[in-house]
Structure 1
Amino acid sequence: MDILKRGNESDKFTKIETESTTIPNDSDRSGSLIRRMKDSFKQSNLHVIPEDLENSEQTEQEKIQWKLASQPYQKVLSQRHLTMIAIGGTLGTGLFIGLGYSLASGPAALLIGFLLVGTSMFCVVQSAAELSCQFPVSGSYATHVSRFIDESVGFTVATNYALAWLISFPSELIGCALTISYWNQTVNPAVWVAIFYVFIMVLNLFGVRGFAETEFALSIIKVIAIFIFIIIGIVLIAGGGPNSTGYIGAKYWHDPGAFAKPVFKNLCNTFVSAAFSFGGSELVLLTSTESKNISAISRAAKGTFWRIAIFYITTVVIIGCLVPYNDPRLLSGSNSEDISASPFVIALSNTGSMGAKVSNFMNVVILVAVVSVCNSCVYASSRIIQALGASGQLPSVCSYMDRKGRPLVGIGISGAFGLLGFLVASKKEDEVFTWLFALCSISSFFTWFCICMSQIRFRMALKAQGRSNDEIAYKSILGVYGGILGCVLNALLIAGEIYVSAAPVGSPSSAEAFFEYCLSIPIMIVVYFAHRFYRRDWKHFYIKRSEIDLDTGCSVENLELFKAQREAEKQLIASKPFYYKIYRFWC
Structure 2
Amino acid sequence: MQKNTEQSSNQLSASLQTRHLTMMSIAGVIGAALFVGSGSIIAEAGPAAILAYFAGGALVVFIMRMLGEMAATSPDTGSFSTYADRAIGRWAGFTIGWLYWWFWVLLMAWEAYIAGLILHEWFPLISVNVFTMLMTIGLICINFMQVSKYGEVEFWFALIKVVAIVIFIIIGILAITKLWPLAQVNGFSQLTAHGGFMPNGIGPVIIALLGVMFSFLGAEIVTIAASESKNPVEQTRRAIKSVVWRICLFYIGSIFLIVCIVPWNDPLLAQTGYGAYRRTFEILGIPGAQWFMNFVVLTSVSSCFVSGHYTASRMLYSLSKRGDAPALFQKTRANGTPVFSVLASCFIAFAIACMNFFDAIQPREILDLLMNTTGMIAMLVYLVIAISQVRLRRKMEREGQEIKLRMWLFPWLSYVVIAFISISLIAMAFLDQYRVLVLSTGIAAFMVMLIGILVQSKAKKKLLQPQKLERSYF
> Considering the TM-score relative to the shorter chain, is it more than 0.5?
yes
Contact 1:173 1:197 in 2 (8 A): yes
In structure 2, relative to structure 1, the CA distance for the partners of 1:288 and 1:251 (3 Å cut) is closer
In structure 2, relative to structure 1, the CA distance for the partners of 1:324 and 1:288 (3 Å cut) is same
Describe the SS at the equivalent of 1:106.
helix
Question: Which position in structure 1 is the counterpart of 2:126?
Answer: 187
Amino acid at match of 1:350: I
In structure 2, relative to structure 1, the CA distance for the partners of 1:456 and 1:433 (3 Å cut) is same
In structure 2, relative to structure 1, the CA distance for the partners of 1:318 and 1:107 (3 Å cut) is farther
In structure 2, relative to structure 1, the CA distance for the partners of 1:210 and 1:260 (3 Å cut) is farther
In structure 2, relative to structure 1, the CA distance for the partners of 1:280 and 1:226 (3 Å cut) is same
In structure 2, relative to structure 1, the CA distance for the partners of 1:343 and 1:123 (3 Å cut) is same
Question: Which position in structure 1 is the counterpart of 2:144?
Answer: 205
Describe the SS at the equivalent of 2:192.
helix
Contact 1:456 1:483 in 2 (8 A): yes
Describe the SS at the equivalent of 1:281.
coil
Q: Take 1:80 and 1:416, find their aligned partners in 2: how far apart are those partners?
A: 29
Q: Take 1:478 and 1:73, find their aligned partners in 2: how far apart are those partners?
A: 36
In structure 2, relative to structure 1, the CA distance for the partners of 1:438 and 1:461 (3 Å cut) is same
Question: Which position in structure 2 is the counterpart of 1:435?
Answer: 369
Please tell me whether residue 270 in structure 1 is matched to residue 208 in structure 2: yes
Contact 1:86 1:283 in 2 (8 A): yes
Question: Which position in structure 2 is the counterpart of 1:91?
Answer: 30
Task: Indicate which of 296, 301, 311 corresponds to 1:370.
Answer: 301
Instruction: Please report the RMSD computed on the Cα atoms of aligned residues, expressed in angstroms.
Output: 2.4
Superposition deviation, residue 206 in structure 1: 0.6
Q: Take 2:270 and 2:431, find their aligned partners in 1: how far apart are those partners?
A: 18
Question: Which position in structure 2 is the counterpart of 1:249?
Answer: 188
Contact 1:243 1:351 in 2 (8 A): yes
Please tell me whether residue 447 in structure 1 is matched to residue 381 in structure 2: yes
Describe the SS at the equivalent of 1:249.
helix
Contact 1:133 1:288 in 2 (8 A): no
Question: Which position in structure 2 is the counterpart of 1:258?
Answer: 197
Q: Take 1:374 and 1:332, find their aligned partners in 2: how far apart are those partners?
A: 24
Task: Indicate which of 207, 221, 227 corresponds to 1:289.
Answer: 227
Superposition deviation, residue 112 in structure 1: 2.0
Aligned pairs for 1:127-276 within 5 A: 127-242=66-181, 244-245=183-184, 247-261=186-200, 263-264=202-203, 266-276=204-214
Q: Deviations over 1:64-94 (max 9, x none)?
A: xxxxxxx611111122212222332321111
Question: Bigger relative contact order, structure 1 or 2, given CA contacts below 8 A and separation 6+?
Answer: 2
Q: Deviations over 1:89-112 (max 9, x none)?
A: 321111111111211222344222
In structure 2, relative to structure 1, the CA distance for the partners of 1:209 and 1:478 (3 Å cut) is farther
In structure 2, relative to structure 1, the CA distance for the partners of 1:367 and 1:478 (3 Å cut) is farther
Superposition deviation, residue 123 in structure 1: 1.4
Q: Take 2:244 and 2:132, find their aligned partners in 1: how far apart are those partners?
A: 35
Q: Take 1:382 and 1:211, find their aligned partners in 2: how far apart are those partners?
A: 13
- Give unpaired runs (5+ residues) of structure 2: 461-474
Q: Deviations over 1:132-168 (max 9, x none)?
A: 2222223122221011111112111111111000100
Task: Indicate which of 238, 263, 271 corresponds to 1:332.
Answer: 271
Question: Which position in structure 2 is the counterpart of 1:114?
Answer: 53
Q: Take 2:362 and 2:178, find their aligned partners in 1: how far apart are those partners?
A: 46
Question: Which position in structure 1 is the counterpart of 2:468?
Answer: none
Task: Indicate which of 522, 529, 552 corresponds to 2:443.
Answer: 522
Amino acid at match of 2:227: T
Describe the SS at the equivalent of 1:239.
coil
Question: Which position in structure 2 is the counterpart of 1:535?
Answer: 456
Q: How many residues align?
A: 452
Q: Take 1:374 and 1:309, find their aligned partners in 2: how far apart are those partners?
A: 22
Task: Indicate which of 457, 467, 492 corresponds to 2:399.
Answer: 467
Contact 1:92 1:369 in 2 (8 A): yes
Contact 1:379 1:411 in 2 (8 A): yes
Superposition deviation, residue 480 in structure 1: 4.5
In structure 2, relative to structure 1, the CA distance for the partners of 1:402 and 1:200 (3 Å cut) is same
Contact 1:106 1:257 in 2 (8 A): no
Q: Which has the higher helix share?
A: 2
Greater shift, 160-169 or 149-158, is seen at 149-158
Please tell me whether residue 344 in structure 1 is matched to residue 269 in structure 2: no
Q: Take 1:526 and 1:384, find their aligned partners in 2: how far apart are those partners?
A: 19
Question: Which position in structure 2 is the counterpart of 1:46?
Answer: 7
Q: Take 1:317 and 1:295, find their aligned partners in 2: how far apart are those partners?
A: 33
Contact 1:268 1:500 in 2 (8 A): no
Superposition deviation, residue 230 in structure 1: 0.9
Contact 1:107 1:253 in 2 (8 A): no
Q: Take 1:451 and 1:97, find their aligned partners in 2: how far apart are those partners?
A: 28
Q: Take 1:44 and 1:490, find their aligned partners in 2: how far apart are those partners?
A: 45
Contact 1:79 1:296 in 2 (8 A): yes
Q: Take 1:136 and 1:248, find their aligned partners in 2: how far apart are those partners?
A: 45
Q: Take 1:106 and 1:150, find their aligned partners in 2: how far apart are those partners?
A: 40
Q: Deviations over 1:178-234 (max 9, x none)?
A: 111221111012222222222222211113112210121122211111111111112
Q: Take 1:77 and 1:185, find their aligned partners in 2: how far apart are those partners?
A: 39
Question: Which position in structure 2 is the counterpart of 1:552?
Answer: none
Question: Which position in structure 2 is the counterpart of 1:493?
Answer: 424
TM-score normalised by the chain length of structure 2: 0.89
Amino acid at match of 2:372: A
Superposition deviation, residue 119 in structure 1: 1.4
Q: Take 2:193 and 2:248, find their aligned partners in 1: how far apart are those partners?
A: 24
Question: Which position in structure 2 is the counterpart of 1:421?
Answer: 353
- Give unpaired runs (5+ residues) of structure 1: 1-42, 49-70, 505-512, 540-587
Q: Take 2:321 and 2:328, find their aligned partners in 1: how far apart are those partners?
A: 9
Contact 1:158 1:384 in 2 (8 A): yes
Superposition deviation, residue 284 in structure 1: 0.8
Greater shift, 247-256 or 166-175, is seen at 247-256
Q: Take 2:456 and 2:245, find their aligned partners in 1: how far apart are those partners?
A: 43
Aligned pairs for 1:77-88 within 5 A: 77-88=16-27
Q: Take 1:345 and 1:401, find their aligned partners in 2: how far apart are those partners?
A: 43
Q: Take 1:461 and 1:253, find their aligned partners in 2: how far apart are those partners?
A: 50
Q: Take 1:222 and 1:133, find their aligned partners in 2: how far apart are those partners?
A: 28
Aligned pairs for 1:331-410 within 5 A: 331-333=270-272, 338=273, 340=274, 342-352=275-285, 354=286, 356-410=287-341
